[in-house]
Amino acid sequence: MHILKRSNHKHFIGKEARNLTSVQNKSSKMSAFSLTMLAIGSIIGAGMFLGVGLTIKLAGPSIILAYALMGILMYFNLSFLADLSLLDPEKGSFQTYASKAFGTGVGFVIGWLYWISGILVMSSEATAAAIFSALWFPGIPLWAFMLIYSVVLTVVNLADPRWFGKLESGLAIIKVIALIGFILLGIVLAFFPLLGTAPGWHNVTNTPFFAHGISGFAGSLLLVFYAFSGTSVVGLAISESSDPEKTVPKVVLSTSGIVTFFYVISVLFLLLLHPWTTYNASTSPYVSALLPYKIPIVQSLMNFVILTATLSAMSASMYGTSRMLNALAQQNEAPNFFNKVTPKAVPRRALLFTNAFLIAIAFLSYIIPNKIYLLVTGASGLLSLVNVLTISLAHWRLRQKLLEKRQDYKTHVLGYPTSNFIVTAIFVGVFFSAFAIPDQRASFFLGLSLIAVTAGVYFSVRHKLGAKSQWPISTAEHHEIPTTENSLHTLKHLAQETEKRISEGLRPKNRS
């Protein structure tokens, strides 16, 4: 996620740049369909397939409203990011806009929080994958599965990364097909007594909508938000889309609509099939909802699809997070040790260092196996919330100034700037709601501590970074501030910067 400092350009006129030129012409512009599939694949992961059990337990039937609300907020968040990316396509990432809007310090903190959040996302996905695997092998401990999956996916990521694009698109389609299949099966089981008594609407109407009151509803919002995280990939991939000013607004609307529809409708059928009190985080609700019906193969097939989707999301996070660390090193905002890439354009050192933290998380899963998923998911959600808040506020601050340079720009964001303030206020409320829920306080303090430590590190090293006190500064002062590019296109961008915008290179996919 970066753009090189000018003083560092010459560093890449050598082995790394030459290694990249062999794959310069491998990618093509993305259609609206491809970009939508990329976004959907990045969003739908363990946060939905496993985390929904926790959210139902917290909120009861009102969880339907929580997913609908977050879907609307997701639309605005995507709109803000897409608008900035269209107005300033050369700079393309939320870290860049954070630096431009609020100073180098915020950009530094956002970049490192992205890396830390990426580790937590990988840990969350690894934990979920281990829980899904336990359905078949209940005797194997959680930490063993986490270690196995971490090692295997590390080896996969050390290989040539060019196949990631097609793999992620294909797996995104599998996720969508799995959810469609569950919804269709849910219609049959809920309303047609083919395999026993059809519950109809009884399980929803026979209990209070706000089963645990407003506090339970509010407590679910952070975990629901986590299920929608990864939306930033749309903004990051805009430079890869064809005719972006026409394509991207459609993608924003279609992505928000499709994901929200699948989430709300599939959760509705979870509630229809069984009382909300039967769900928890010990297994995927999408599997446990089908177990009583004893339909041959369906449970195992659904579990396999979910496991595959989770490992896919984990691998994509592994890809992007390691490249973020490599990008920070190229900006002199991380140790130079992580600067290098292999002949196949893999930041091996950054990857191995990043993935080493998964071992620590696996150790935690041995100590607190029943709490690890909520801990890492909640903390990751809080850090992702910081990124979302940054996008909303940066869009509010930068849009008018960027419009002065784009008189031909016709796209507009619904309700700007009022929508920015409303979205920001709601997300701030979600952030602090984590503290109000006893089970989420550990995640809240962990996330808050990581933010404070990262900010403290910046103030400790800012003189070494060559950045004077610029937090915040006006947007007019940002013309010389080194910015960052998204992790999806880091390696291609190095070649482009070095050889004056060479033809397109890598286009891997990620869950940001």
DSSP class of residue 7? G
The average confidence (pLDDT) of the chain is 76
pTM of structure: 0.77
Residue 386 CA to residue 370 CA, distance in Å, equals 27
Residue in 359, 427, 331, 295 with CA at minimum distance from that of residue 150: 359
Of these ranges, 242-251, 264-273, 285-294, the one predicted with the greatest mean pLDDT is 264-273
Assigned superfamily of 6-498: Amino acid/polyamine transporter I (1.20.1740.10)
Residue 423 CA to residue 388 CA, distance in Å, equals 9
Of these ranges, 17-21, 144-148, 237-241, the one predicted with the greatest mean pLDDT is 144-148
Of these ranges, 242-246, 253-257, 396-400, the one predicted with the greatest mean pLDDT is 396-400
With 0-12 / 13-18 / 19 or more C-beta atoms within 10 angstroms meaning exposed / middle / buried, residue 241 is buried
Write the DSSP assignment of 435-485 as a string of letters: HHSGGGHHHHHHHHHHHHHHHHHHHHHTTTTT--S-SS--GGG-TTS----
> In which band, very low, low, confident or very high, does the pLDDT at 97 lie, cut at 50, 70 and 90?
confident
What's the pLDDT at 82?
86
> In which band, very low, low, confident or very high, does the pLDDT at 62 lie, cut at 50, 70 and 90?
very high
Q: What is the 3-state secondary structure (H, E, C) of 305-321?
A: HHHHHHHHHHHHHHHHH
Residue in 109, 178, 184, 125 with CA at minimum distance from that of residue 318: 125
Q: Give the range among 101-105, 329-333, 452-456 with minimum mean pLDDT.
A: 329-333
Read off the tokens for 313: 């999301």
Residue in 310, 384, 302 with CA at minimum distance from that of residue 127: 310
384-404 pLDDT, tens digit per residue, is: 888 889 999 999 999 998 888
Listed in sequence order, the DSSP H helices in 192-243 are 202-205, 213-228, 232-236
211-234 pLDDT, tens digit per residue, is: 988 888 988 898 898 888 766 666
Question: CB within 8 A of 254, min separation 6: which ones?
Answer: 32, 36
> In which band, very low, low, confident or very high, does the pLDDT at 273 lie, cut at 50, 70 and 90?
very high
Do the Cβ atoms of 505 and 27 come closer than 8 Å? yes
- What is the domain partition of the chain in residue ranges? 6-498
Mean pLDDT of 100-113: 86
Alpha-carbon distances of 123 from 141, 246, 283, 363, 377, rounded to whole Å: 16, 37, 17, 11, 8
Residue 381 CA to residue 434 CA, distance in Å, equals 10
What's the pLDDT at 270?
94
pLDDT higher than threshold 50 for residue 286? yes
Do the Cβ atoms of 477 and 470 come closer than 8 Å? yes
436-493 pLDDT, tens digit per residue, is: 777 778 888 888 888 999 989 888 887 776 543 343 433 333 333 333 333 333 333 3
Alpha-carbon distances of 126 from 138, 179, 313, 432, 443, rounded to whole Å: 16, 21, 10, 27, 18
Task: Please state, for a pLDDT cut of 70, what percent of the chain lies above it.
Answer: 76
Mean pLDDT of 406-412: 78
Q: Give the range among 69-78, 343-352, 421-430 with minimum mean pLDDT.
A: 343-352
> In which band, very low, low, confident or very high, does the pLDDT at 264 lie, cut at 50, 70 and 90?
very high
Task: Please state, for a pLDDT cut of 90, what percent of the chain lies above it.
Answer: 16
Query: 510's torsion region: left (phi>0), alpha (psi -120 to 50) or beta?
Result: beta
Read off the tokens for 89: 């396509």
